[in-house]
Amino acid sequence: MLKIKQLKVNTDNKEILKGINLTINKNEVHVLMGPNGSGKSTLAQTLMGHPNYHVTDGEIIFEDKNLLELKSNERALSGLFLSFQYPSEVTGVSITNFLRTIYNKKNAVKLSPIKFREILQEKMSILGISQDFTSRYLNEGFSGGEKKKMEMLQMLIMEPKLAILDELDSGLDIDALKTVSEAVNYLRTTTNMSVLVITHYTRILNYIIPDFVHVIKDGVLVKSGGKELADELEQQGYAPFGE
């Protein structure tokens, strides 16, 4: 589904990613872990096509397409989802309208507000989100946990093929963490979604069980393994990897 080959990325004329190789197949959960500044978010932003990150070498193939030739919105429509990919506050746009717009675009349909409400309500009940939530304006005055719920609602509406969840668990209480994990696990079982979880804590891995764990250090993947690698990191930190 996703194949990253020898990827090198610069930002501010500095090489951040120094030859990343990573393959993610359908329905797999990969976890990318590493110390601060190791290049995790750089990889996520590069996958979504953020203009500050320049690919100097290598390639990214997503479902047989050259991802690097697609614009950010085309990447989203072709099934890539990054949490934080939308502006944090959009004044005057209700959540319902925002989500209806992206749903219609993704599915090339023009559902009326009433028809869309049925779909939205089903997704909200999966996440246990209350009805009054969606009449609020997008992210205005949202707490950290509410922003995350919003992102997860967006993910359920988009039904991506691959979700990239960057620092999913930073600052979340257990309640919000559970909501997030439920959304991810729901899509894994109902749509075969693949996931790339980027984190520096292992806490989230109690709720989202990884198939593969990769350790990034200074722009290079220094080790890959199964879930046991996360347990190792939990106990020993990144020190054995040279930090």
Ligand X SMILES: Nc1ncnc2c1ncn2[C@@H]1O[C@H](COP(=O)(O)OP(=O)(O)O)[C@@H](O)[C@H]1O
The three-state secondary structure class of 168 is: coil
Q: Which of 10, 21, 41, 96 binds ligand X (CB under 6 A)?
A: 41
* Count, residues near Mg ion per rule CB under 5 A: 2
Q: Determine, following the binding rule CB under 6 A, whether residue 37 of this chain makes contact with ligand X.
A: yes
Q: Determine, following the binding rule CB under 6 A, whether residue 67 of this chain makes contact with ligand X.
A: no
Q: Determine, following the binding rule CB under 6 A, whether residue 11 of this chain makes contact with ligand X.
A: yes
How many degrees, rounded to 5, is the angle at CA 35 between CA 40 and CA 41? 15
Q: Determine, following the binding rule CB under 6 A, whether residue 13 of this chain makes contact with ligand X.
A: no
Q: Determine, following the binding rule CB under 6 A, whether residue 99 of this chain makes contact with ligand X.
A: no
Q: Determine, following the binding rule CB under 6 A, whether residue 21 of this chain makes contact with ligand X.
A: no
First CA to last CA distance, the chain: 32
Task: Report what 154 binds from ligand X, Mg ion, none; CB cut-off 5-8 Å by kind.
Answer: none
Q: Determine, following the binding rule CB under 6 A, whether residue 197 of this chain makes contact with ligand X.
A: no
Task: Pick between residue 28 and residue 167 the one whose CB is nearest to Mg ion.
Answer: 167
Q: Determine, following the binding rule CB under 6 A, whether residue 49 of this chain makes contact with ligand X.
A: no
Residues with Cβ within 8 Å of residue 13, at least 6 apart in sequence: none
Task: Pick between residue 11 and residue 78 the one whose CB is nearest to ligand X.
Answer: 11
Q: Determine, following the binding rule CB under 5 A, whether residue 11 of this chain makes contact with Mg ion.
A: no
Task: Pick between residue 133 and residue 201 the one whose CB is nearest to ligand X.
Answer: 201
Task: Report what 160 binds from ligand X, Mg ion, none; CB cut-off 5-8 Å by kind.
Answer: none
Task: Pick between residue 113 and residue 237 the one whose CB is nearest to Mg ion.
Answer: 237
Q: Determine, following the binding rule CB under 6 A, whether residue 210 of this chain makes contact with ligand X.
A: no
- List, in sequence order, the alpha helices (H) in 128-173: 144-158
The three-state secondary structure class of 49 is: coil
Q: Which of 10, 11, 27, 41 binds Mg ion (CB under 5 A)?
A: 41
DSSP category for residue 209: -
Give the number of C-alpha atoms closer than 13 A to the C-alpha of residue 213, restricted to the C-beta side.
22
- Other CB atoms within 10 Å distance of the CB of residue 201: 14
Distance CA 178, CA 30 (A): 19
DSSP category for residue 30: E
Q: Determine, following the binding rule CB under 6 A, whether residue 12 of this chain makes contact with ligand X.
A: yes
Distance CA 81, CA 137 (A): 22
